[in-house]
Structure 1
């Protein structure tokens, strides 16, 4: 059991580090999204011109922001949750809800997304799909690759939540909602 606890703690620490780095990188896409959107507006209303590529860049930025930001949001427990009862529960019960929610809902959904997107993305790669607009951005296949990448990151995050809450339940950590990783120890 000690070996497993140490393994889980190491996984949690490493995983949190990776997810934080991805999340911080993705957060910068908000700046590019704002700048590109402002540029499109200025070009359209100030100079009466437009750019299909810039408009598609907004879509690409949205995709990067949301698809890669999902697991970071889940890591920091900022995801949407019906909080009517949850906020009143004891920390032990919250651990159980988080554990079961990840096992029964998040894992199956992410596995389904991985399975169902495999052919879709691989077909896009096979033809090196690009924009249907002649002046649009190519590399649509890279954009579609965000689907399984999002599901993979979310799957890893769900496993981390399962591990964190399992450890908390087993070690009876009730002083906080979730165990904190500091200095490699839970």
Structure 2
């Protein structure tokens, strides 16, 4: 179990670093939006490239930050019984939620996204706008990265949940699954 826990902690560390890195996109989005508005309404200059870059940053922020959000328990949860349940019962719910909900949904997304992303890469899909970003295929690839990051974070969550069920690990009050 110690080897699995070290794997889980490595996954947690990876998603934590990615989450902290992509969080900067929120600041860049605000700054670029400010510049777009300033250029448009003060100087009468429009930039489709800059407007599309906001969409790209927004997409990357949410798609690449989803694993980080799962790590820290930030996803929406219907908390009827979960909040009042013991740590062990929460771990059981988390474990079965990963196995029977998260993994099947990610598998379906991956099955449908792979051909979609592959066809985009085949033609090196670019913006429909003349001066737009010529890399739509990279934006679409974030769907695959989303599935991978969420999948490995789900694996980490399942490992931590099993460790909690076995009494090897305890969840801290403010942290996500498996925090010691």
- Same topology, TM > 0.5: yes
State the Cα deviation string for residues 116-169 of structure 1 (Å, max 9, x = none).
111110111010111111010111111110001101110001111111101110
Find the aligned partners of 2:155 and 2:16 in 1 and give their Cα distance: 16
CA distance in structure 2 between the partners assigned to 1:22 and 1:38 by the alignment: 25
- Note the aligned Cα RMSD (angstroms): 1.5
1:163 to 159, 162, 173: 159
Q: How many residues in Structure 1 have an aligned counterpart in Structure 2? A: 177
Residue in structure 2 matched with residue 184 of structure 1 by the alignment: none
Q: Does residue 117 of structure 1 match 2:106?
A: no
Q: Establish whether residue 83 from structure 1 lines up as the match of residue 79 from structure 2.
A: yes
Please, what TM-score do these two structures have when normalized by structure 1?
0.90
Q: Deviations over 1:77-102 (max 9, x none)?
A: 11111123221111111111111111
Q: Which runs of 5+ in 1 are unaligned?
A: 182-186
Displacement after TM superposition at 1:173 (Å): 5.1
Q: Distance in 1 between matches of 2:24 and 2:17?
A: 11
Q: Is the 8 A contact 2:87 2:171 kept in 1?
A: yes
Does the residue aligned with 1:86 lie in a helix, a strand or coil? Answer: coil
Take 1:22 and 1:174, find their aligned partners in 2: how far apart are those partners? 24
